[in-house]
């Protein structure tokens, strides 16, 4: 059952946002931007699986503490823009109804790469969404993000802006194409998808998983302590200027509204995320636990910088000149000791992340020894996990184990998965 805030809002028809995936990153990034933008916009959150975040947030009437840290220390902001949370498995049809609702103007999505159920070539994996196909044909309840989103768009009358905020290149185009493929499989009129806008975005704000130390600091400060989030002071949001209707004034909140997100997302995915994955696997192989520890190791720091330099050489000329300064800024961000950013958190879903973060650089620049070492670090980490009897948190874990048992290289496994 959905839990909704008890306060009256006096809302206009154009100031509601539905967000799918109301985890820590959303609350550190998009919800923070909504708070900064003002204008009375409110967020109705959706969890596709667990009620845990909903059950925690409702105890503080959906307000939460955002702890922001940099070299100067920590500060806490209280964010109060979430109006309700619906746990999809507990309330049949609720997600579609929220999306179709007249006063919903924007849908945003953060479900990580695996939540899109895409194949290696970026197209929808129809086998993975087979339960949604059956449900949408037979009047049942979808399970995945594409299924719920299509169910809502099929009921929707007015044009809507649907905004992916996940680390996928061309994320808006990929989401639209996935929904069109699902609509075709189900027999839904494709205009139910094409009438809406799907701007691509690039999002950036390092957000570790919350821990007990964070909760204790927030509690001591007297701030809402049931669902706190920790993040860094740096934040970036680049949004394609392609909207179907009203939007919060994200530009006033420091977001960049641009004609082409592509160069910005390449910079971030290949440099920041590529270096992050490199530090994760190489750092775990050395017995380290956190990003600031890994980047503090001179050899790992040099390797991460090498990945960034190789990635920078593949960027469009329009932003290539800014890459060295961006790389130095990234290393300073990684050094932040106030962010306990777990290497294991970053190491999740390597089979989905590395083709975007590392292999894309190697495809554009075949002579990329640092990226090759990053792949080798992933191989070594996988081997250690399997030897210890652990399965990595990765949707392709069984295929990874079988591939390594056959002696396949990391690159060969990834190419096979594609």
pLDDT in tens, 100-122: 999 999 999 999 999 999 998 99
Gap between the Cα atoms of 274 and 113, Å rounded: 15
Average pLDDT over residues 29-52: 97
pLDDT in tens, 214-226: 999 999 999 999 9
Q: What percent of the chain has pLDDT over 70?
A: 97
Q: The pTM is what?
A: 0.93
Torsion sign over Cα 371, 375, 380, 381: positive
Gap between the Cα atoms of 56 and 68, Å rounded: 20
Q: pLDDT at residue 47 above 70?
A: yes
Q: Which residue has tokens 């990226």?
A: 371
Q: Can you name the residues that pair with 20 across neighbouring β-strands? A: 46, 109
Q: What is the CA radius of gyration of the chain?
A: 21
Confidence (pLDDT) at 190? 98
For residue 15, what pLDDT band results from cuts at 50, 70 and 90? confident
Whether 34 contacts 199, CB under 8 Å: no
β-strand 42-47 against 16-20: which pairing, if any?
parallel
When the candidates are 3.30.465.10, 1.10.1040.10, 1.10.20.140, 3.40.50.720, the CATH number that belongs to 263-417 is 1.10.1040.10
Residue with more model confidence, 400 or 13: 400
CA-wise closest residue to 80 among 45, 29, 32, 20:
32
Gap between the Cα atoms of 388 and 219, Å rounded: 38
Q: Which residues of 204-225 are buried (b: 16+ CB within 10 A; e: fewer)?
A: bbbbbebeeebbebbeebebbb
Confidence (pLDDT) at 1? 37
Average pLDDT over residues 247-272: 97
Sketch the domain layout of the chain as residue ranges: 3-259, 263-417
For 32, 182, 253, 319, 391, the CA distances from 395, given in Å and listed in that order, are 30, 21, 36, 34, 10
What the block records as the tokens of 235 is 């934040």
Can you identify the CATH homologous superfamily of domain 3-259? NAD(P)-binding Rossmann-like Domain (3.40.50.720)
Confidence (pLDDT) at 14? 53
Average pLDDT score, the chain: 95
CA dihedral defined by 225, 228, 231, 236, rounded to 10 degrees? -120
pLDDT in tens, 301-350: 999 999 999 999 999 998 999 999 999 999 999 999 999 999 999 999 99
| Count of H-run helices and E-run strands, the chain | 21, 12
Half-sphere exposure of 147 (CA within 13 A, CB side): 27
């Amino acid at each position: 059952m959905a839990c909704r805030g008890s306060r009256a809002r006096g809302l206009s028809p154009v100031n509601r946002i539905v967000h799918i995936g109301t985890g820590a990153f959303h609350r550190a990034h998009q919800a923070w931007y909504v708070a900064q933008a003002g204008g009375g916009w409110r967020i109705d959150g959706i969890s596709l699986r667990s009620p845990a975040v909903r059950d925690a947030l409702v105890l503080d009437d959906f307000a939460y503490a955002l702890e922001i840290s940099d070299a100067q220390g920590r500060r806490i902001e209280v964010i109060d823009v979430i109006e309700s949370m619906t746990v999809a498995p507990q309330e049949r049809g609720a997600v579609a109804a929220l999306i179709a609702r007249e006063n919903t103007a924007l849908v945003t999505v953060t479900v990580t790469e695996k939540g899109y159920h895409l194949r290696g070539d970026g197209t929808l994996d129809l086998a993975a969404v087979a339960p949604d196909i059956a449900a949408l044909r037979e009047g049942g309840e979808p399970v995945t993000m594409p299924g719920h989103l299509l169910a809502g768009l099929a009921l929707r009358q007015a044009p809507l802006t649907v905004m992916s905020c996940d680390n996928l290149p061309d994320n808006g185009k990929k989401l639209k194409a996935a929904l069109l493929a699902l609509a075709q499989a189900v027999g839904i009129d494709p205009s139910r998808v094409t009438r809406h806008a799907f701007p691509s975005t690039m999002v950036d704000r390092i957000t570790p998983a919350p821990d007990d130390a964070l909760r204790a600091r927030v509690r001591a400060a007297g701030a809402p302590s049931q669902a706190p989030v920790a993040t860094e002071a740096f934040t970036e949001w680049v949004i394609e200027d392609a909207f179907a209707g009203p939007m919060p004034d994200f530009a006033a909140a420091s977001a960049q509204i641009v004609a082409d997100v592509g160069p910005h997302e390449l910079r971030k995915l290949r440099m920041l995320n590529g270096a992050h994955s490199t530090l994760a696997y190489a750092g775990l192989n050395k017995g380290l636990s956190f990003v600031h520890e890994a980047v503090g190791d001179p050899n790992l720091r040099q390797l991460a910088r090498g990945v960034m330099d190789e990635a920078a050489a593949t960027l469009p000329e329009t932003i290539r000149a800014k890459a060295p300064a961006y790389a130095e800024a990234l290393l300073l961000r990684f050094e932040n000791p106030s962010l306990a950013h777990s290497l294991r958190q970053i190491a999740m879903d390597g089979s989905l992340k590395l083709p975007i973060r590392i292999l894309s650089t190697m495809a554009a620049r075949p002579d990329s020894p640092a990226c090759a070492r990053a792949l080798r670090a992933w191989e070594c980490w996988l081997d250690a996990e399997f030897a210890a009897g652990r399965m990595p948190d990765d949707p392709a874990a069984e295929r990874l184990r079988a591939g390594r048992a056959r002696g396949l290289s990391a690159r060969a496994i990834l190419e096979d998965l594609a």
